[in-house]
Structure 1
Amino acid sequence: MEDKRRYFLEIAYDGTAYHGWQVQPNAITVQEKLNQALATFFREPIETLGAGRTDTGVHAKQLYLHLDTANKSIVQNPEKCIHALNALLPYDIAVKNIYAVANDAHARFDATARSYAYHVHFKKDPFLVHKSWFIRDIPDIEKMNAAAKLLLGKKDFSCFSKSNTQVFTNICTVTEARWEQNADSIVFHISADRFLRNMVRATVGTLLEVGLKGKPITYVNEVLESKSRSKAGVSVPAHGLYLTQVIYPYIN
């Protein structure tokens, strides 16, 4: 039997119609649709492994996955392969690039950094439904940015994690945490070496406690030191969240 080669696919998707990334019983997921399209194209069962999981309704502007196949068409004409896969996929999932990688390359474990953005808007807009979170009151951005700086560095983020998650550590190193203000909206940008489940949505909810509800900037430190999810703010809705970038040492 011919040896299989490993490939990375760079994809993007609108998560509105899906119960997250990962295959699960009795629910439609992004990974399920990709596996089906890949199996049809390669005419063999294909199993993919993604850089991480996104929850129901969360979007991805960039996510990588890896797969193994002996099919030569992916190397011989990658553009044709991308075109064919996109024709097989639903309108809300797109393959952007294909990379041949070493056979031990791993889409999840080799990622050195990930970035997310959370979108909030203040004027009712039917075109932003399922794409951004609508709130009526405008928070204090300057105060929230001061609070966001307290997230930077290597810290225990247990307070922002879903309970009963199977991870070996809750320590993450955050390299960026800031709010960007636009005319009728704000966007929270956060980058780290790794993220816990629900971490970004709980972080945004906690910062809004400072920007909207009058909590002091030091409230963020109190929450971090508590290591308790009950001390942090609520998890904001999933539809405002986007995975924006995943970085690997061997992909530009």
Structure 2
Amino acid sequence: MSASGVVKLKLVIAYDGTRYQGWQVQKIGVGVQQKIEEALARLLPEPVRVHGSSRTDTGVHALGMVAHVEVPDAALRLPEAKWPLALNAHLPEDIRVLSVRRCAPDFHARFHARGKQYRYFIWNHSAHHPLLRHLTWHVPRPLDIAPMRRAARFFLGRHDFRSFAANRNYEMENTVRTLTRLDIRRAGPQWTFIIEGDGFLYKMCRGIVGTLVQVGLGRIPPEAIPAMLEKRDRRVAGMTAPAHGLVLWKVFYGRRGADHEPSAQAEAQRES
């Protein structure tokens, strides 16, 4: 038994965000966090609070959301391997717990994350793929990938990303972030934007992708990106891409928690 009588578990969660108002518990509407806590309440003697690594927005999906929760020692009579089965039995089909593992007592899913990878998916064809309509942004006009890749290079490194983040109802103290990767892949009509960084502002990924799409349509020159970053004004940058094309793909950790990466099978399915 632990000294405190509780143990900490690390959960990896995937969900289709179409029906949810983001990750967090909401005053109006339903968040994914609420559904996870309700499932845990079916297995535990008392309610517990789940702490997520990210605050995904309304309509955004996740394949690698990481969360932690403290549960009573007695609850671990159920083997770790059976926790996902038990939780998923009480969850809707569009939310799945992929793994549950015991972690260090001081592990925190949000504060110990050292980086995240998001992926954004576009269907670039005159007709939208009907099976992917909830998972991809339909851009019917042809995109030019060469200027988009030139523009993408300007985002890499440490910058103030205020021009690409939506305003909240309070002033953000720090809008400086570091992007370490911004790749654009194309497989026929399906495009994938892979964005990695140490953190992301509200709707920042979607602001970047929306701007890159306008570059690909010839509406914004690639060389305009540095000036947009410099002005730190959302009005000077491009549009915000729709939420339903965005997926929290994985979260990176150091020694306090192993990085989670989707299985090879899941990766192949998303990129096929």
Tell me, yes or no, whether TM beats 0.5.
yes
Q: Deviations over 1:93-146 (max 9, x none)?
A: 111111212222111110011011111102322101111011111211111011
Conserved in 2, the CA contact under 8 Å of 1:42 and 1:71? no
In the aligned structure 2, how far is the partner of 1:166 from the partner of 1:38? 35
SS at match of 1:99: strand
Matched residue of 1:207: which SS?
A: helix
Q: Supply the AA of the counterpart residue of 1:8.
A: K
Runs of 4+ residues deviating >4 angstroms: none
**Which of 241, 245, 248 is residue 236 of structure 1 equivalent to?**
241
| 2:258 alignment partner in structure 1 | 251
Q: How far does residue 167 in structure 1 lie from its aligned partner after superposition?
A: 4.3
Q: 1:216 and 1:192 mapped to 2: Cα distance? A: 24
For residues 8-47 of structure 1, the C-alpha deviation after alignment (integer angstroms, 9 at most, x for no partner) is 1011000011111000112011011000001111131010
After superposition, where does 1:88-103 map in structure 2 within 5 Å?
88-103=90-105
* Distance in 2 between residues matched to 1:167 and 1:11, nearest whole Å: 28
Aligned to 2:151: 147
Contact 1:82/1:97 (CA < 8 Å) preserved in 2? Answer: yes
1:161-206 Cα offsets, whole Å, 9 max, x none, are 1223564411111000121011112111100010001000010111
- Which structure 2 residues correspond to residues 162-177 of structure 1 after superposition, within 5 A? 162-164=166-168, 165=170, 167-177=172-182
How many aligned residue pairs are there? 252
Over the residues paired in the alignment, what is the CA RMSD in angstroms?
1.5
Question: Which TM-score applies when normalising by structure 1?
Answer: 0.95
Runs of 5+ consecutive residues of structure 2 not aligned to the other structure: 260-272
Which of 5, 8, 14 is equivalent to 1:6?
8
Structure 2 residue aligned with 1:212, among 212, 217, 220? 217
Instruction: Specify every segment of 5 or more residues in structure 1 that has no aligned partner in the other structure, as ranges.
Output: none
Distance 2:7 2:171 in 1: 30
Contact 1:73/1:81 (CA < 8 Å) preserved in 2? no
CA contact (8 A) 1:116 1:244 kept: yes
Query: Could you tell me which residue of structure 2 aligns to residue 78 of structure 1?
Result: 80
Task: Report 1:106-185 matches (<5 A).
Answer: 106-121=108-123, 122=125, 123-164=127-168, 165=170, 167-185=172-190
Give 3-state SS (helix, strand or coil) of 1:88's partner.
coil
Tell me the SS of whatever aligns to 1:218.
helix
| CA distance in structure 1 between the aligned counterparts of 2:25 and 2:200, rounded to whole angstroms | 20
Q: How far apart are the structure 1 equivalents of 2:59 and 2:186?
A: 24
